[in-house]
Amino acid sequence: MSHSDASIAARVRHVEALLEERGLVDAQELDRALEAFLANAKPANGKRIVARAWADTGFKARLLENANTAIEEIGLSMGGGLQQQTLKVVENTPEVHNVIVCTLCSCYPIALLGPSPAWYKSPAYRSRVVRDPRGVLAEFGFDPEGEIAVWDASAETRYLVLPRRPAATEGWDEQRLAEAVTRNGLIGTAPV
Ligand code: FE
């Protein structure tokens, strides 16, 4: 049941109504929770994940194995409360470059990247990146090495690209590494 954002929204409203009926939450509380979620949802989170993975091979292995639990180690989560989305981190290598898209709507790891850019939601990007990923990346001024793998996000599963660490960053601390990462690098439409 991927891409069933509408039905999930309906289920969430149903659960909210039940909780309110039982006096467990009120609408204002839900609004505050949503505001807190959005205030903390920013690309800096995704950048921290990548910097830690570059600096710590053990963390990187755990991240690729189970991203939802690994990101808790640095105080992050996919948020969202009632139903946590599965996060999959896909690693760029010299052989494979990864790009993320949602072909049917605009599923995106908001908790880790903030709200998605307009082009990510555009019908042109969503349809063309699957058919002609290299052509689309060329329009971003980017021609990655190797094959291009396109990952189609859904209501339940979100992706984050782990870019390759630039050679020139040897000896950098995590703070500096995080600053070298770009939002589009985490979507796969730019080098780091
Ligand atoms: Fe979607």
Tens-digit pLDDT profile for residues 16-69 = 777 777 776 677 777 887 788 888 899 999 999 999 999 999 999 999 999 999
Mean pLDDT of 168-183: 96
Mean pLDDT of 82-87: 80
Q: How far is the CA of 59 from the centre of ligand 1 (A)?
A: 28
Angle at which helix 5-21 crosses helix 27-40, to 10 degrees, equals: 130
Q: Using an 8 Å Cβ cutoff, are 60 and 51 in contact?
A: no
Using pLDDT thresholds of 50, 70 and 90, give the confidence band for residue 2: very low
Q: What is the reported pLDDT for 10?
A: 72
As given in the structure block, the two tokens for residue 18 are 């039940």
Residue in 12, 59, 84, 134 with CA at minimum distance from that of residue 20? 12
Q: Which of 7, 107, 116, 154 is catalytic?
A: 107
Q: What is the reported pLDDT for 9?
A: 67
Q: How far is the CA of 102 from the centre of ligand 1 (A)?
A: 5
pLDDT(1) > 60: no
Q: What is the reported pLDDT for 8?
A: 65
3-class DSSP state of 105: coil
Q: What is the reported pLDDT for 112?
A: 96
Range with top average pLDDT, 5-9, 12-16, 99-103, 166-170: 99-103
Q: Which of 77, 102, 127, 154 is catalytic?
A: 102
Using pLDDT thresholds of 50, 70 and 90, give the confidence band for residue 6: low
Q: How far is the CA of 22 from the centre of ligand 1 (A)?
A: 32
Catalytic: 106?
A: yes
Q: How far is the CA of 3 from the centre of ligand 1 (A)?
A: 5
Rg of the chain (C-alpha set): 18
Amino acid at 154: S
Q: Name residues whose C-beta falls within 8 Å of residue 50's C-beta, 6 or more positions apart in sequence.
A: 162, 163, 177, 178, 181, 185, 186
140: left (phi over 0), alpha (psi -120 to 50) or beta: alpha
pLDDT(172) > 60: yes
Q: How far is the CA of 87 from the centre of ligand 1 (A)?
A: 14
Q: How far is the CA of 57 from the centre of ligand 1 (A)?
A: 31
Q: Which of 2, 106, 122, 154 is catalytic?
A: 106
Report pTM.
0.84
Residue in 71, 80, 97, 52 with CA at minimum distance from that of residue 156? 80
